[in-house]
Amino acid sequence: MYSNVIPGMVGSIVAAAFVVFLFKTASTHSLKLIWFVAISAVMLIRIGDGLVWYLKLRHTEFDGQAATNRFVLGAVVTALLWSTYSVGFFDTMDEAQFAITLAVLCSVAGGSSTILAGHKQVSVLFVILLLAPVSLMAVFSGQNYHIYLGILGLLFCVAMSISALRTSSLVLETIKLRHENSQLVETMNLEIDQVDEVHQKLSNAYDKLNDANSSLEKEVERRTEEIQELSSLDPLTQLYNRSAFIKQLLKTVKKSTDRGHSIALLFIDLNGFKKINDSLGHKVGDAVLVEIANRLGAFANDYQAARWGGDEFLMLIPYADKTTALSVATALQTRIAQPLDAMSNQLNLTATIGIAMFPEHTSNETELIQLADFAMFEQKKLRVNEPRMFTHDLFQNLKYVEELRSGLQDAIAKKQLYLCYQPIVCCKTHQPRLFEALLRWNFNDGLVRPDIFIPLAEQSGLIREIGAWVLNRACIDASQWQHSPDASVTVNVSIIQLQDDDFINVLDKALQTSQLDPTRLHLEITESMFADDKDKVRETLDAIKSRDVQVSIDDFGTGYSSLSQLQTLSFDIVKIDRSFVQNMQQGGEAIIRATMFIANEFGSQTVAEGIETEDEAQKLSDMGVDFLQGFLFAKPMPNDELRVWVEHRNVTIQANSTD
């Protein structure tokens, strides 16, 4: 309020002089002079009050209420003096004098909205006292000209009152925010001062050090380079990290493009590292990575090497053709495969390496890494211990895989998926007791192998939807098997499904929809699932068993063999992998007998897979295997063909028994 009081009061004096001395009337001139002296005195007093506040009180802990009261009193007295003038001399004014006087009053009222904005009540009261009395007198004067001006005055009074309220609200809110943030501003200013002080001290220290020894500048540059280099390194292996390697790759590509040379990029993935991490712990795993990085860095020499992530590494070979790249990759594989010692553990690792060439395979740096990764991935699936160079055939295969991945999203809706069932027969009677549900996909008038599309479904997350469809379809089919009303259906379940929080709901829905007896449903899991989230898998399997659903363990002995994990789970069937059946003469028989012993100890039955000859069936029967599965008895077949097969088999058995 006080910040604008001096210019406001000066303006009021000027306005008062204007109305007094513009129209001189002998009869009223002396009274007007008295009024002018009175209002000028009030203005000067208010100016003096403002100067006292501005010069003495502003930066002190002054009495705010007293200052406010003085200001309010001055504003009200000023408004009353103006109102006294307009009302007191109303009858002596002609039309021009009244119009000018009303205009001056409106101007003063307009200017007051800023000066009085700090006090909402006074700002409105000032406008009303200034305009309302004289405007009402004009309205009730009976003269048309005065009536019109009076109405305009009243309207302006209302408008200015509303404007004063809004302006005052805005000013008060601004003041409130300013005071609320004053502490923050003070803290910020203090911190700025501290920063400036520290900066000044650092600047002074720098000047002194620079004067003392000019060579320190080079030392600073050297240390800066060291820091930048450290930020570019993987903290564990001290090889380039991902971002630094990409920057280096961009530089190398540009240089090679300018000079017309080719580049080879090696994508290196360690085989078996996850088992080391899981079985021996992360500290041993870290030690292995450090040793591999040392071998890689020493072998790379001037080549650029990086840790891409986890157990994946990259190596860049400038000025290399395909022959050079393959030779380097082969030698690197040999070096990695040499035995290593990690925290007193003698370990052996191998690596799978994919190679992509720039610019032969691609002119894009990011795509170069992707192509090398893809070549490595394809080679890893083949389990061949030699480097793999990316080829356009691989690229076509990549396109085919992408086509499959895209087609898999609509496979259920387009009814391209269907189930086949392979009988599992009793070893003694050769009667089918279980039927394994096997998923088939007819895509573009051709069958896609499960070992191709199942991993794609797992990678894309579609395995949950597809797995739910398979489980529901198998339960419905089994519930309608009139040919084998007591036979069970076995359904393969992936680790992704078991780890899904909604899997038990999917299982309950399938059983409820099909009305299948839960004891006729077998869920088949692989032994390797225990290598993942053990607690989550065990929790899900416990929920499955609580519903009387049977559990079968597939590929027993081929993966993550851990009796300590298996003994905590109540399972019903152990399936003996076909690889042991086919190699019974080369040690497979001993493994089969050991598996049977373990199954018997756990109170479980056994199923031997991959039976193709009568001799195999007889040997396994003599050994005490409970069930047999293989092409000797039947291949997987659609549900309709399964019914025909069972009926034909029953007729054959009845005919043989009659004979």
Compute the C-alpha angle 101/95/20, nearest 5°: 35
Q: Which of 149-153, 645-649, 654-658 has the highest average model confidence (pLDDT)?
A: 645-649
Q: pLDDT at position 353, please?
A: 96
Predicted confidence (pLDDT) at residue 152 exceeds the cutoff of 90: no
pLDDT category at 433 given cuts 50, 70, 90 is very high
Q: Distance of alpha carbon 649 from its chain centroid, rounded? A: 57
Question: Rounded to whole angstroms, how far apart are CA atoms 93 and 149?
Answer: 13
Predicted confidence (pLDDT) at residue 530 exceeds the cutoff of 70: no
Q: Is 309 left (phi over 0), alpha (psi -120 to 50) or beta?
A: left
Question: Rounded to whole angstroms, how far apart are CA atoms 604 and 596?
Answer: 9
Mean pLDDT of the chain: 84
User: pLDDT, tens digit, for every residue of 478-512?
Assistant: 999 999 999 999 999 988 898 889 999 999 999 99
| Mean pLDDT calculated for residue range 532-561 | 80
The pTM score is 0.50
| Mean pLDDT calculated for residue range 144-155 | 82
SS3 636: coil
User: pLDDT, tens digit, for every residue of 382-402?
Assistant: 888 899 999 988 778 778 888
Q: Which two tokens stand for residue 254?
A: 């540009």
* Residue bearing the bigger pLDDT, 236 or 88: 236
Query: Which residues, including other chains, have CB under 8 Å from residue 569's CB and lie 6 or more apart?
Result: 538, 541, 551
| Lowest mean pLDDT across 55-69, 340-354, 393-407, 622-636 | 55-69
Q: Which two tokens stand for residue 598?
A: 């373990």
Q: pLDDT at position 57, please?
A: 77
Q: Are 168 and 120 in contact (CB under 8 A)?
A: yes
Predicted confidence (pLDDT) at residue 82 exceeds the cutoff of 90: no
Question: Rounded to whole angstroms, how far apart are CA atoms 388 and 563?
Answer: 37
| Mean pLDDT calculated for residue range 93-103 | 80
User: pLDDT, tens digit, for every residue of 577-624?
Assistant: 888 888 887 878 888 898 888 888 888 999 999 999 999 999 999 999
pLDDT category at 144 given cuts 50, 70, 90 is confident
Pairing type for strands 312-318 and 345-347 reads: unpaired
Bond prior to 450 in cis (omega within 30° of 0): no
User: pLDDT, tens digit, for every residue of 345-379?
Assistant: 889 999 999 999 999 999 898 899 989 998 998 89
Q: pLDDT at position 550, please?
A: 94
Q: Which two tokens stand for residue 549?
A: 């659903």
Question: Rounded to whole angstroms, how far apart are CA atoms 556 and 571?
Answer: 12
Question: Rounded to whole angstroms, how far apart are CA atoms 187 and 557?
Answer: 68
Compute the C-alpha angle 575/576/581, nearest 5°: 150
Predicted confidence (pLDDT) at residue 529 exceeds the cutoff of 70: no
Question: Rounded to whole angstroms, how far apart are CA atoms 280 and 342?
Answer: 10
Q: What share of the chain is helix, strand, coil (3-state, %, to 5)?
A: 65, 15, 20
- Residue-by-residue DSSP string for 444-483: TTEEEPHHHHHHHHHHHTTHHHHHHHHHHHHHHHHHT-SS
Q: pLDDT at position 12, please?
A: 77
Q: pLDDT at position 124, please?
A: 80
Q: Which of 16-30, 220-234, 314-328, 643-657 has the highest average model confidence (pLDDT)?
A: 314-328
| Mean pLDDT calculated for residue range 530-552 | 84
Q: pLDDT at position 598, please?
A: 86
Query: Which residues, including other chains, have CB under 8 Å from residue 81's CB and lie 6 or more apart?
Result: 35, 38, 39, 42
Name 340's bridge partners.
Answer: 347
pLDDT category at 412 given cuts 50, 70, 90 is confident
| Lowest mean pLDDT across 145-159, 173-187, 323-337 | 173-187
SS3 432: strand
